[in-house]
C-alpha cells in the first residue's frame, strides 16, 4: 500500500475511547450487589478522576456454582475522555496507572470502610482492546498481605478520624502500599477483638514487618495509627508461637517438636482432599468433582500459603530433633562395644577365607564349639543392631527430604492457582506481565519465587502441579508414620541401647 500511514487523529475519530474495568474483590454474604456497584461509581465521580468518565456496571450473575460464592467483586468502568488504545504517546497507559495507583486507593479505602467490609484484591483490565494489547493496561494488587481471613473493616476507637489517612493516599505516586498497610493494621485490630488468640504464626514475618513499618509509607507521623502499630508489633513479638519460626538451638522433646507438624497435617488434610476433587485446568464442573469458582480458587491460594508457612514452622522444630537423633545413631554404631562385636563378627563369622579357617579350627574341639557359638551369637546381634540403626537412619533422612521437597511443591501449586486466578477471575493472563511484575504478583500471594523455575506458565501444567501437591502430601504423611514406627518416637525420649 502506497502513501504515508494514517495519523492518530484519523484512527481515534473512528476507534472507541479506551474502556477499562476496576474490580475490588471482597467477602459478602449478600453476594454480588448492584447497589454497591452504583455506590462505588458515585464515589469515583465525587473524586473527579479528570481523564475518565465513570460508568456504573450492571451485575451479571454467573451461571455456574459461582453464583453461590461469598467472594465477589464490586465493579466500576472508566471510559477515557480523549484517548483510544492507539495513542502513540502512551498517554492512555499513563492515565491508567495514575487511576489505579494514585486515585483509586483513597476512594477504595473510604468506600469499604463505609460498608464495613475488607477489600482483599483489586485489579484493572481493558475491555475494548485486542487481546495482544491488553497486557499494557493490566493492573493487579493484593491488599490482603497477611493471609488472614477477616471480612469486616472498621476504624478502631483509637483512630476516630480517618480523613488524615485518606488524604495521604493521593499525595504519593503509588498509594497502594499505604492502602494495604492501613487495611491490615485495622484487620489485625479486628482480629484481636473477635478472637482470643490471633494466629500470628500463620503470617509471614516479612509481610508483618512491611505492615508495621509505617516509615516505609510515610505514615509514621499519624500518632493514633503509629501507636496502634507499635502495640500490635509488641503483641506479635510476644507471641510464643513465633519462637518456632527461628531454628531451635537446643533440640526439643519429641512431643514439643512434633506438635506443629501434626497441626500442619490437620490443617491441610481437608484442603488437599478438596483439591484432589477439583479440576483447576477447566472452569467447568466435573461430573463428580468440585467447580473451580473464584471463591474456591482464592481460598485454595490462601490455604496453600498457610500450609507453606505451617510446614516451614514445623520443619524448624522437627529438623533439630531429627538431626540430634541421627547423631545418636551414628554414635551408637561407632561405639567401642559395637566396633568390638562387629570386628569379632567379621573375623569369626565372615565369609572370607581367614574367617572360615578360624571358625573351622575352633569348631574342632569342645571348647572351640563354645567359643564359636558365642562369636556366632555376637555376629547375629551385631547384624541386627546395624540393621536396626540403618533402618532408622534411612527413615529419618527420607522424611527430612520429603519436608524439603514439599515446600517446593507448595510453591509450584500456589503459582498454578495464582495463574488461574489471574486468568479466570481477574480477566488477565499472568504472562501479560513482565517477569519482574510476575515475581511481584507471586510474592504478594506469599510465593517463594526463588524456588520456582523461570519457565512461562502453561495452563496444561496446572492440573499436574495440583496432583503433585496432593500426592506428595500423602507420601510425606505415610513416611512420617513409617519413621515414627521404625524409630519408636513417642514411646520414650530416653536413649535406647542396641
d(CA 389, CA 487): 9
d(CA 268, CA 270): 6
pLDDT above 80 (res 14): no
pLDDT for 311 equals 87
Buried b (16+ CB within 10 A) or exposed e, 372-389: beebeebbeebeebbebb
pLDDT above 70 (res 106): yes
- 404 in the same domain as 279: yes
In a domain, 84, yes or no: yes
- 443 in the same domain as 302: yes
Tens of pLDDT, residues 230-240: 888 888 777 65
pLDDT above 90 (res 302): no
- 299 in the same domain as 445: yes
Specify the CATH number for the domain of residue 24: 3.30.70
- Return the ∠ at Cα 166 (arms to 160 and 167), rounded to 5°: 115
Q: Which of 118, 143, 168 is the last residue of a domain?
A: 143
| Phi (first) and psi of residue 80, to 5 degrees | -65, 140
Q: If you average pLDDT over residues 365-388, what whole number do you get?
A: 53
Q: Which of 143, 168, 188 is the last residue of a domain?
A: 143
Q: Which residue has the higher pLDDT, 470 or 284?
A: 470
In a domain, 5, yes or no: no
pTM over 0.85: no
Tens of pLDDT, residues 205-226: 777 888 888 888 888 889 889 9
d(CA 32, CA 29): 9
The band of 288, judged by pLDDT with boundaries at 50, 70 and 90, is very low
Tens of pLDDT, residues 243-281: 445 555 555 788 888 888 888 888 777 777 766 666 655
In a domain, 472, yes or no: yes
The residue segments making up the domain with residue 136 are: 17-143
pLDDT above 90 (res 388): no
Going by C-alpha positions, the residue among 38, 169, 10 that lies closest to residue 105 is 169
Q: Kindly calculate the radius of gyration of the chain based on its CA atoms and give it in whole angstroms.
A: 31
Most confident range, picked from 301-310, 352-361, 377-386: 301-310
Tens of pLDDT, residues 452-475: 554 555 555 667 787 888 888 889
**Who's near 321: CB < 8 A, 6+ residues apart?**
251, 252, 254, 257, 258
Tens of pLDDT, residues 193-205: 776 555 666 677 7
Q: Provide the mean pLDDT of the chain.
A: 78
- 467 in the same domain as 325: yes
Tens of pLDDT, residues 139-178: 999 999 887 778 899 999 888 889 989 988 878 877 999 9
In a domain, 230, yes or no: no
Q: If you average pLDDT over residues 76-85, what whole number do you get?
A: 93
The band of 451, judged by pLDDT with boundaries at 50, 70 and 90, is low
- 262 in the same domain as 138: no
In a domain, 212, yes or no: no
Q: Which of 143, 163, 194 is the last residue of a domain?
A: 143
Q: If you average pLDDT over residues 69-83, what whole number do you get?
A: 94
Q: How many domains does the chain have?
A: 2
As beta bridge partners, residue 344 has none
Going by C-alpha positions, the residue among 308, 325, 310, 250 that lies closest to residue 448 is 308
Amino acid at each position: 500500500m502506497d502513501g504515508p500511514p494514517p495519523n492518530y487523529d484519523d484512527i481515534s475519530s473512528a476507534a472507541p475511547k479506551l474502556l477499562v474495568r476496576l474490580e475490588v474483590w471482597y467477602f459478602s454474604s449478600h453476594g454480588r450487589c448492584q447497589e454497591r456497584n452504583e455506590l462505588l461509581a458515585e464515589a469515583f465521580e465525587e473524586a473527579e478522576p479528570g481523564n475518565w468518565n465513570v460508568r456504573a456496571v450492571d451485575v451479571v450473575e454467573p451461571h455456574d456454582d459461582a453464583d453461590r460464592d461469598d467472594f465477589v467483586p464490586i465493579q466500576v468502568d472508566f471510559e477515557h475522555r480523549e484517548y483510544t488504545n492507539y495513542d502513540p504517546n502512551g498517554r492512555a497507559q499513563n492515565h491508567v496507572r495514575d487511576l489505579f495507583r494514585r486515585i483509586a486507593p483513597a476512594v477504595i479505602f473510604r468506600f469499604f470502610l463505609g460498608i464495613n467490609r475488607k477489600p482483599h484484591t483489586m485489579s484493572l483490565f481493558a475491555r475494548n482492546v485486542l487481546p495482544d494489547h491488553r497486557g499494557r493496561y493490566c493492573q493487579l494488587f493484593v491488599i490482603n498481605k497477611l493471609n488472614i481471613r477477616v471480612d469486616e473493616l472498621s476504624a478502631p476507637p483509637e483512630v476516630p478520624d480517618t480523613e488524615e489517612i485518606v488524604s495521604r493516599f493521593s499525595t504519593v505516586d503509588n498509594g497502594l502500599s499505604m492502602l494495604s498497610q492501613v487495611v491490615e493494621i485495622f484487620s489485625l485490630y479486628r482480629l484481636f477483638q473477635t478472637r482470643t488468640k490471633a494466629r500470628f504464626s500463620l503470617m509471614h514475618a516479612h509481610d508483618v514487618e512491611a505492615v508495621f513499618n509505617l516509615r516505609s509509607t510515610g505514615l509514621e507521623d499519624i500518632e493514633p495509627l503509629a501507636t496502634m502499630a507499635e502495640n500490635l508489633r509488641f503483641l506479635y513479638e510476644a507471641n510464643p508461637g513465633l519462637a518456632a519460626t527461628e531454628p531451635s538451638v537446643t533440640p526439643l522433646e519429641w512431643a514439643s517438636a512434633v506438635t506443629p507438624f501434626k497441626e500442619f497435617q490437620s490443617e491441610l488434610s481437608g484442603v488437599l482432599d478438596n483439591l484432589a476433587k477439583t479440576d483447576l485446568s477447566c472452569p467447568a464442573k466435573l461430573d463428580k468433582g468440585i467447580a473451580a469458582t473464584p471463591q474456591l480458587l482464592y481460598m485454595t491460594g490462601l490455604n496453600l500459603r498457610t500450609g507453606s508457612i505451617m510446614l516451614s514452622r514445623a520443619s524448624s522444630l522437627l529438623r533439630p530433633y531429627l538431626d540430634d537423633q541421627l547423631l545418636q545413631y551414628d554414635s551408637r554404631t561407632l561405639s567401642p562395644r559395637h566396633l568390638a562385636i562387629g570386628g569379632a563378627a567379621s573375623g569369626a563369622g565372615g565369609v572370607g577365607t581367614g574367617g572360615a579357617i578360624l571358625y573351622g579350627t575352633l569348631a574342632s574341639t569342645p571348647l572351640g564349639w563354645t567359643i564359636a557359638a558365642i562369636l556366632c551369637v555376637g555376629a547375629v546381634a551385631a547384624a541386627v543392631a546395624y540393621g536396626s540403626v540403618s533402618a532408622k537412619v534411612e527413615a529419618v533422612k527420607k522424611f527430612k527430604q520429603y519436608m524439603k521437597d514439599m515446600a517446593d511443591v507448595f510453591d509450584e501449586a500456589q503459582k498454578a492457582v495464582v495463574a488461574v486466578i489471574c486468568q479466570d477471575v481477574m480477566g488477565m493472563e499472568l504472562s501479560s506481565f513482565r517477569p519482574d511484575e510476575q515475581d511481584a504478583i507471586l510474592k504478594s500471594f506469599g510465593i517463594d519465587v526463588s524456588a520456582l523455575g523461570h519457565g512461562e506458565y502453561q495452563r496444561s501444567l496446572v492440573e499436574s502441579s495440583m496432583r503433585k501437591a496432593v500426592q506428595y502430601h500423602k507420601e510425606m504423611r505415610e513416611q512420617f508414620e513409617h519413621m515414627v514406627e521404625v524409630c519408636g518416637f513417642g514411646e520414650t525420649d530416653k536413649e535406647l541401647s542396641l
